[in-house]
A and B are shown apart, each in its own frame.
Chain A
Amino acid sequence: MTISRTDNTKDIDNIELRTVLRNLVLKIDEYLLKKEPYYESLKKIGGKVREFDEDGNIVTSKIVSFQIVSYGTVFQSEHFYRVHNFCYELDRYNSGHARYFENRENKSLLPIYDEDQRTGALWYHARDPKICPSQKDYQLMYEVNIVPAEYKNFDNYQECNQQWKNWYEMIYDLYSDVNSVLATNYMVKLDKNFNIYSGVFLTFSRKLIGIERSFIKDWCQQTLSKITSENLIPDLYRHAIRQATRAAISQVMARNMSHNLGSHVMSRLVTEESLMHYLSYNPPR
């Protein structure tokens, strides 16, 4: 799996933003793989799939690619986002993926991490290694593969839109043998000149029917909305607060010259007598 990386690393010295985006990816992990409500969503998807799948085939998704792009150069009068490449920290995502297995008896869902599962080897619960369910008790419901994501900022909508199209085409080209794809996106408008798009692209091992698409799309939209809105915006807010703090400190510092030097020292040097008091001074030799 390759994901194009950008070489344009201008302005990635924004430490807070880097943290924001890192947290964002961690949240993807959390939402998709760990949170209870999403197990329920997945169960619904699985349930609906089974309900409508006359052949009894399960749906497996091969790849989820998550991307955020935005256009707009200015956020609160400052160049805000540029290109970030945080792939090196996401090594574990390169091989990490999650599978959801459903227990055939009690229908509980179990998220599993293990590369070996792909090949059918023994596998263990990601959280509790003591659990080693027998494969026959579980059936594969949903497989999610997180790949390193990118964030890009563009100066205008046309470039952003083109990037969006390029991303679709790239994924499509890579997985042209799949039977079904679903892509959906979510937009957040932070400022009149600044929008953030987040998108997810899934491929499926068989063609989805309408209601399946609808459920999966809803699930994706919920996920994207939570990830983008709840996590990104508070971090943007935190960033804005730091900028405001900086501006407040600058205000205080700006008065330093007049307060220390002006009112205490220079105010005593405004008459001819006061100047001559010093100018006439010659040190003894």
Chain B
Amino acid sequence: MAHSSSYTTALTPPEERVEPPVADAAERVSAVVEAHYDFVWRTLRFVGLDDAAAEDGAQQVMCILARRIDDVAPGAERSFLFSTAMRVAATLRRTASRHPESSDEDIEALVAATPSAEELLDERRAHEVLRRVLDAMPVELRIVFVLYEIEEMTMREIAETLGIPAGTAASRLRRGREAFDSIVRRMQTARGRHGGSP
């Protein structure tokens, strides 16, 4: 992501600050959107929005970023975007189509429909299966799990982004891993019994 001298503004005492040129803000917005749009979109999908709602949500998030770019400290862009995405997702869930919270019956259906190894060579298919597995996890565990295992944020970043103690973040990751592994083990067992579904 491109940076310019204006990014030091946030670190400068207010009385010494010189307002950065507006075009600099526009450049920064462009750079942030380009760097993190996919992350925002994936986040919205992983918290349960379908493709169309995730697209709508991503553009809402970026609109908010554009309006508030001067309030976002350099280096804190992804955290800002994630927090904004969570709020936007909460609003969209009330209106857009979404995957409902998974019940035990849904997990059984997911396990019963485990694709074969050959089918999972198709990355898109594997991604959809992953999404269903994640949908089956409690959302607070799912968020930490996704941010760490898929988005590859550090535990410190995750704790700061979510506003939770480091110990809580670590506990949610551990429990998220247990939940993920539990579902995957059941899928493996089902695959072994039935050879996967066509």
- A, B bound: no
The chain B residues found within 8 Å of chain A, CB to CB, are none
